[in-house]
Amino acid sequence: MGRLFKVLVADNNTAAFDRLKKLPVWEENGFEIIGRTADMRNAAQRCKTDGIELLICYNRPPAISAEVLITSTSELSERTVCLAISPHDDSENMRRCFILGVIDYLTEPVGEQRLSEALARAAQRIRSLSVSSEYMQALEEHLAEVRADDKKFVEKLREFLQSCENTTASTEYAADFFGFNKDYFGRLFKSKIGMTFGDFYKLFRIRYAERLLMSGKYKVYEVSSMLGFSSVDYFTTVFKKLKGKTPSEVKKL
């Protein structure tokens, strides 16, 4: 299993926190509770400074308001996913929390099955946010190495690759985006960037794969699948050829 996602619980009820922490669903869903806070003023800040990926907000007004805490957290720490828990069924508060983007809204007593289902959805959301961040960082690093005088062309290339986050790009697809036929675009791209689009994109995908592997959140076969390689063996071959190490060796660093 990769690194566990960090969980912070915002609640002023120690007994409820102890019960929640003892439920045997955290690690099996990829999470680890690292602490509790009853201070509404610093909870959102802790999410940002401590890299909290899941904030569990109990709704115990006036001491703890899930609605207020979710709002402040989303403004301060965009990569933190929120889960709300209420001591009783409160449909209006639930509606407002869902509008604010919570992954789920549970009521006490919290059952293992419902919590496990909520954690599975939270993990999926966290991975999605993480992948997007890793993709954009890899993209900016890759474009920073491009030696091209035509800044407009590079900016158009950035725009194209941003639109390809959830798909595999091809020379034909890129040519259509730029408004040229494939042959003309191929010649133009090589004259601007100094290599073919295919080679450029292959290098970018491997850089992106390296970032995902080094994050510790994904297995080699998961990264291979996410990047659209036909097999793990082919992914390993391409990766080693360009990086001098296998994906497994990079993941262990």
Q: Write out the DSSP string of 28-51.
A: GGTEEEEEEE--HHHHHHHHHHTT
DSSP output for 119-139: HHHHHHHHHHHHHHHHHHHHH
Residue pair 32/26 in contact by the 8 Å Cβ criterion: yes
Rounded-to-integer distance, Cα 227 and Cα 165, Å: 9
Can you tell me the mean pLDDT for 97-108?
A: 92
Confidence of residue 134 (pLDDT cuts 50, 70, 90): confident
Residue 220 pairs in a beta bridge with none
Confidence of residue 176 (pLDDT cuts 50, 70, 90): very high
- Region class of 147: left (phi > 0), else alpha (psi between -120 and 50), else beta: beta
Per-residue pLDDT at 193? 94
Q: Is the pLDDT of residue 182 over 50?
A: yes
**Could you tell me what percent of the chain has a pLDDT over 70?**
98
Residue boundaries of the structural domains of the chain: 5-128, 131-252
Rounded-to-integer distance, Cα 91 and Cα 81, Å: 21
Residue 195 identity = M
41-50, 62-71, 130-139, 174-183: the lowest-pLDDT one: 130-139
For residue 201, give the H/E element and its range.
helix 197-214
Vertex 196 angle, CA 143 and 201, to 5°: 50
For the beta sheet containing 54-58, the strands, ordered from the edge strand earlier in sequence to the opposite edge, are: 31-37, 5-10, 54-58, 81-86, 105-107
Q: Give how far the C-alpha of residue 235 lies from the chain's centroid of Cα atoms, to the nearest Å.
A: 22
Q: Which top CATH class is 131-252?
A: mainly alpha
Q: How many CB atoms lie within 10 A of CB 100?
A: 17
Can you tell me the mean pLDDT for 28-39?
A: 92
Do 5-128 and 131-252 show the same overall fold? no
Q: Is the pTM of this model over 0.75?
A: no
Per-residue pLDDT at 1? 45
5-128, what's its fold? Rossmann fold (3.40.50)
Residue 117, φ and ψ in degrees, nearest 5: -65, -40
Nearest to 160 by CA among 145, 142, 173, 151: 173
User: 68-96: per-residue pLDDT in tens?
Assistant: 999 999 888 888 999 999 988 888 889 99
